[in-house]
Amino acid sequence: MDDISVDSKLRSAQPPRRLSAIIEQVAGNASGPVSVEHVRDALGDRSFAAMLAFFSIINLLPLPPGTTIVLGPPLILVAVQMALGHNRVWLPKFILRKSLSQPRFDSLSKRYLPRLEKLERLIRPRHWPFARSGLADRVIGIFALVLAIAVTIPIPLGNWLPALAILLIALALSERDGILFYAGVFVGSLALAIIAAVIGAAGALAGMLFA
């Protein structure tokens, strides 16, 4: 009985599977279009960090201009729930039904998984700035919400840096990696500064043209 109890504790103490392993599993098991619901179910615990990372990766893909208007709102929705302190992620049916064809998902997985795996190998618990996990979720949720709104703004290539920042912060949260968290905050702040400068320049140019 004691052996069973010890074995159970060891299994429960094992770290959760990383996002790259889950995406690889989904790609390997897919026999048709891969929907957001498939990935959500594969994540199991539907953690905010994993869902933020997943949607940020989607926004990093080389997709046609204007798609951020469609792909940005799921990030906003997850970030809002996180900032409000919800325990689980809720997604509406129309988002869960969004899908990629199996060949497209498999092709993107083979192309980007090695990069994600390389990044994940660098992540480990260190210098985490939050003493309470609940506080971390709320603070990160608020910052991720600002970045998610920036992702949705239809500026050419303006979504890439905010999406990358959200990915770094989400991976940092999953492993309590303070170094990666600060890197994500830096990238996010830089992205917001660039977007503000672009919008400001566009406003000034419009003012000159229509003055």
The pLDDT of residue 153 is 85
Find the farthest-apart pair of alpha carbons in the chain and give their distance in angstroms, rounded.
Answer: 82
- Residues in a beta bridge with 99: 35
Beta bridge partners of 126: 177
Residue 72 contacts residue 148 (beta carbons within 8 Å):
yes
Residues of the chain short of pLDDT 70, as ranges, are 1-16, 44-46, 64-66, 133, 211
What pLDDT score was predicted for residue 44?
67
pLDDT for res 108? 83
For 10, 34, 39, 118, the CA distances from 27, given in Å and listed in that order, are 29, 8, 10, 19
Amino acid occupying residue 191 = A
Q: What is the pLDDT of residue 81?
A: 94
The pLDDT value given to residue 126: 92
Alpha carbons 22 and 33: distance in angstroms, whole number? 16
Mapping DSSP onto H, E and C, the string for the chain reads: CHHHHHHHHHHHHCCCCCHHHHHHHHHHHCCCCEEHHHHHHHHCCCCHHHHHHHHHHHHHCCCCCCCHHHHHHHHHHHHHHHHCCCCCCCCCHHHHCCEECHHHHHHHHHHHHHHHHHHHCCCCCECCCCCCHHHHHHHHHHHHHHHHHHHHCCCCCCCHHHHHHHHHHHHHHHHCEHHHHHHHHHHHHHHHHHHHHHHHHHHHHHHHHHC
The pTM for the full model equals 0.84
pLDDT in the model for residue 46 = 55
Q: How far apart are CA 27 and CA 21, in angstroms?
A: 10
**Residue 208 carries which side chain, given as an amino acid letter?**
M
pLDDT in tens, 127-172: 999 987 678 889 999 999 999 999 988 877 778 999 999 999 999 9
pLDDT tens-place string over residues 107-120: 888 888 898 899 88
Predicted local confidence at residue 66, as pLDDT = 64
Report which residue type is found at 153.
I
Residue 191 pLDDT: 94
What pLDDT does residue 209 have?
A: 81
